[in-house]
Structure 1
Amino acid sequence: MSLKLVIENAWCPLHQYLAITALDKNLIWRKISTIMNIQVFETAQDNKNGLKPSFLQITDNTGDVKSSIVHVVSSKIYQSIIGFGGAFTDSASNIYAQLDKPRKKKVIEAYFDKEKGNAYTLGRLAIHSCDFSSGNYCYVDKNDTDLASFSVGHDEKEIFPFILDAQRTAGGLKYIASPWSPPAWMKTNNNMCSGGSLKKEYYALWAEYFIKYIEAYRKKGISVWGVTVQNEAGAAQTWESCVYTAEDERDFVKKYLGPTLDKAGLGDINIIVHDHNRDNVLNRCRIIYDDPEAAKYIWGAGVHWYEGDNFQNLNALNELYPEKSLLFTEGCQENGTHHNSWALGERYGKSIINDMNNWIRGWIDWNLLLDISGGP
């Protein structure tokens, strides 16, 4: 059986690279007069060459061939892609800080170099501590309702150097910042962990906290492109977490976060809602997007890959709200380390391909670095 790839309009916009799995040696090309030196990266569990590129052998055959046909129609445009990336967590930054200069260079080139590496263009940031931090911390003192003590000094030692090294090599990155929890004293359970909710009387103050964070990072040369309202807003985790109903998230954006960003001259910051699994993205976003006073502030929704695939929900959401974007904001392999796991690679491939086929505009992996035990 042959695989026939037909390029209509004889033009391929993807830098003349195509990735094809299970490539048959009898690949037949038609209408490729303007495409030269097409490279193929073959992936297979027993492929000794890994991801080393090879060049197609072009066969001029216009006869009838029994084949599977893939049509690439370059004139039909779907969503624009803003990029791929990973997260600059405390854990990742701590590992990076321990590396010597040659190893740091290898890491940065592998992820961010446009010629030698993955050419990442996205980075996720945690607004103070998250589940991959060595402990709970925030940027203000307890009960500081004026935010006078606000400082990102914690990030100076390890997080900023990692980000800035990446930024220099990448030539600029889009950063999406997410809180895992407000400070404990702003919450109903007086604890950054184990769920709880943001107290209503602190909605305005928490919105101001976002402003302080964005401005503090800009002073360090790090421009935040977007913020998610809350990481996994529907889950009470044992680590840093905070629960919002869909109505709470909608009202926080509509009455506080959106207007506060505008007032501060930060209306260009992209607000991302949901930031949780695909299973509930449709139901939750319908509640939020159906309020035009909230929707006007929102760029789109973020999704994670836990709790099943549910790719159909992405397509359904796009059909209802085509003006809103979708971004994959986190994927992490659970339950310990999985060294040399082919199944994990397949999980990534399945998620990325199906997400992109269902309107996702960018894909952000979780920790950029961890140690051999999956920590610290």
Structure 2
Amino acid sequence: MIVGCSKEQNLNIDVVETSASGNKLTPITEFSESDDASSIKLLPDEQLQTITGFGGAFTESSAYLLNKLSKENRKKIIDAYFSEEGAHYSLTRSHMNSCDFSLSNYSYTPVEGDKDLEHFSIEEDKDDLIPFIKDAMAASTDGFKIFGSPWTAAPWMKDNNNWVGGKLLPEYYDTWALFFSKYVDAYKSEGIDIWGFTVENEPLGNGNNWESMHYTPDEMTNFVQNHLGPKLEADGKGGIKILGYDQNREHLKEWVDSQFKNEETSKYFDGTAIHWYASTFEVFPEELQYAHNKAPNKYLIQSEACVDAQVPVWQDDEWYWKKEATDWGWTWAPEKDKHLHPKYAPVYRYARDIIGCLNNWVDGWVDWNMVLDKEGGPNWFKNWCVAPVIVDPENDEVYFTPLYYTLSHFSKYIRPDAKVIGVENNDEELMVTAAKNLDGSIAVVILNQTDKTKQFSLSLGEKNKPVSISPKAIQTIVITN
């Protein structure tokens, strides 16, 4: 039985779907109906966290590749991410100094012993990163937030005098706090406002592979409480957000315990940033709920995610729906953690994680590189990864992978300041989340990982609507008045 979607139906909905069968944000207007359909009930009066945004990261690697493409393809990609017609990204990240997805090691503070940072310069960013950000700003109708993350201070500020590993020397704590303030000013002079910072990307380290700088939880809290927070405040930048931690969720509890120990430690922390690399499929709901309960009025933002340790598959949509992708843990995780790193379909990895995060108090979700090449770089460490958009700069070709459409199901339809709302779902084979936007519309995102079409009744108050979702599909339903 086929049921059409018309305005005469009780619940007025618009549906888009991305599926293994080839849908790519495709409008769906007809649905199959079943006598044993499951039920998804929306509870708009049960309002949870406020959405900060969704998006990806500006990296030197992505910016460099965009510069190598034709103007038409460069614009096509930027519009696809930032325009209202595209993914409409609203929350973004950029690296301060170099990172693994840079072409080389560099710092804005190259002069050794320059404690007052008189030689601070973002010149390195002016050929690639800054033009990328400014073009994204021009493409965006609503604008977007951007937060900066340092991978490391310059080696001369560290106890090991190296780009990789080591700790910030206490004598340079005030210098490093000044670094953040100067970054804001330097980007402001380029017409770019910085919304916030994470204090340090992956303070637990990355196995001493690429740029890193280590903190314990209490060391980071001390730096923020006594140096970074007071410096930004003194410089009239107290409104800029400071997010602590910025690494994998399995250690989240000890970090929020330190950050939010008391009123004094909490004062300058606006929230916590997390990564997903502890597992390809485990969301760590207990840790996320613990962090929320510890600081219910603070941000909890997923600041980085990607299919890592994997060379992208070029122009083969089917691969992204199969359990073929591995991650670092497939090879390197200790035996006790191997179960957290199985082969896992990239589309499901993204969709499951975002839905799981939204259902456990996370208010923002940021992908890693927006653009990479067919090798998964460029990357000075040769730490290859997958991005939603893959390019072949030599032939000026662009491939929008299914990951791009997966992310768009959230970023395009769940807008900043939306409220995540309660959902009752009686089908364990479907994953569901929902949010109410400021304009009154409700966006419902549903993931069906099974090999069969799933029918369900979507209800809102006294109104309901029979809907179906294709096998191996992600669907966004927008309910309007």
TM interval, shorter chain, is 0.7 to 0.9
Distance (whole Å) between structure 2 residues aligned to residue 182 and residue 205 of structure 1:
10
Report which stretch shifted further, 70-79 or 209-218: 70-79
1:16 alignment counterpart: none
Question: Which of 323, 327, 344 lines up with 2:297 in the alignment?
Answer: 323
The match for 1:11 is: none
Q: How do 1:191-206 residues align onto structure 2 when only pairs under 5 Å count?
A: 191-193=162-164, 195-206=165-176
Q: Does 2:376 match 1:354?
A: no
How big is each residue's C-alpha offset from its partner over 1:49-79, in whole Å with a ceiling of 9 and x where there is no partner? 33311125599x9xxx544211101222111
* Matches of 2:32 and 2:309, distance apart in 1: 46
* Structure-2 residue corresponding to 1:295: 266
Give the structure 1 partner of residue 145 of structure 2: 174
Alpha-carbon offset, residue 324 of structure 1: 1.7
**Which among 149, 156, 166 is matched to residue 126 of structure 2?**
156
Match of 2:19 among 17, 32, 44: 44
Q: Which has the higher strand share?
A: 2
| Equivalence for 1:332 | 306
Pairwise CA RMSD: 2.1
Residues 211-256 of structure 1, C-alpha deviations (whole Å, 9 max, x = no match): 0001100111110001000000111531000000001000001000
- Secondary structure of the structure 2 residue equivalent to 1:231: coil
- 1:104: which partner in 2? 74
- TM-score of the superposed pair, with normalisation by structure 1: 0.87
Equivalent-residue separation in structure 2 for 1:223 and 1:246 (angstroms):
28
**Runs (5+) with no aligned partner, structure 2:** 314-318, 322-344, 379-481
Q: Deviations over 1:56-103 (max 9, x none)?
A: 5599x9xxx544211101222111112111111110110011111110
Secondary structure at 1:189's aligned position in 2?
coil
Q: Percent of counterpart pairs with the same letter? A: 38
- Indicate which of 234, 247, 255 corresponds to 1:263: 234
Give the aligned length. 343
Residue identity matched to 1:143: G
Looking at structure 2, the residues matched to 179 and 255 of structure 1 have their Cα atoms a distance apart, in angstroms, of 19
Aligned CA distance change for structure 1 residues 181 and 196 (closer, same or farther; 3 Å): same
Match of residue 20 from structure 1? none
Tell me by how many angstroms 1:44 deviates. 3.4
> One-letter code of the match for 2:216?
T
CA distance in 1, matches of 2:131, 2:307: 26
SS in structure 2 of the partner of residue 370 of structure 1: strand
Does the 8 A contact of 2:2 with 2:32 survive in 1?
Answer: no
| Alignment partner of 1:312 out of 281, 286, 291 | 286
Contact 2:81 2:88 in 1 (8 A): yes
1:48 deviates by 2.9
With over 3 angstroms needed to count, the CA separation of the structure-2 counterparts of 1:347 and 1:58, relative to structure 1, is closer
> Who is 1:341 aligned against?
320
| Partner SS, residue 303 of structure 1 | strand
1:41 is matched by which residue type in structure 2?
V
Structure 1 CA distance, aligned partners of 2:82 and 2:311?
24
2:366 matched to which residue of 1?
364
Counterpart in 1 of 2:401? Answer: none
SS in 2 for 1:210: helix
Letter in 1 for 2:271: G
Q: Is the 8 A contact 2:18 2:26 kept in 1?
A: no
Please show how residues 15-94 of structure 1 align to structure 2 within 5 Å: 33=10, 35-36=11-12, 38-45=13-20, 47-56=21-30, 66-94=36-64
* 1: CA distance, partners of 2:22 / 2:76: 23
The structural deviation recorded for 1:40 is 2.1
1:368 CA displacement: 0.9
CA distance in 1, matches of 2:86, 2:5: 30
Query: What does residue 159 of structure 2 align with?
Result: 188
Rate the CA distance shift 1:333–1:76 in 2: closer, same or farther, 3 A: same
**Residues in 1 aligned to 2:52 and 2:2: alpha-carbon distance in whole angstroms:** 34
Normalising by structure 2, we get a TM-score of 0.68
CA distance in 2, matches of 1:346, 1:224: 32
Match of 1:132 in 2: 101
Q: Residue 338 of structure 1 contacts residue 344 of structure 1 at CA under 8 Å; is this kept in 2?
A: no
Unaligned runs of 5+ in 1: 1-23
The 1:324–1:32 alpha-carbon spacing in structure 2 relative to 1, beyond 3 Å, is farther
Q: Aligned match of 2:177 in 207, 211, 231?
A: 207
Q: Which has the higher contact order (CA 8 A, sep 6+)?
A: 2
CA contact (8 A) 2:202 2:212 kept: yes
Amino acid at match of 1:132: F
Write the distance in 2 (CA, Å) between the matches of 1:120 and 1:56. 29
What code does the residue aligned with 1:109 have?
D
SS in 2 for 1:249: helix
Q: Which residue of 2 is the match for residue 21 of structure 1?
A: none
Deviation at 1:28? 11
Report deviation, 1:333: 1.3
Mapped partners of 2:117, 2:233: distance in 1: 19
Alignment correspondent of 1:233? 203
Q: How big is the shift at 1:299?
A: 1.1
Aligned to 2:414: none
Letter aligned with residue 39 of structure 1 = D
What's the offset of the Cα at 1:173?
1.6
1:39/1:56 contact within 8 Å kept: no
> Does the CA contact (< 8 Å) of 1:278 and 1:305 recur in 2?
yes
Structure 1, 313-322 or 117-126: larger mean CA deviation? 313-322
Rounded Cα–Cα distance in structure 1 between residues aligned with 2:94 and 2:352:
25
Aligned residue for 2:271, secondary structure, equals: strand
1:294: Cα distance to partner?
A: 2.2
Shift of the alpha carbon at 1:25?
5.9
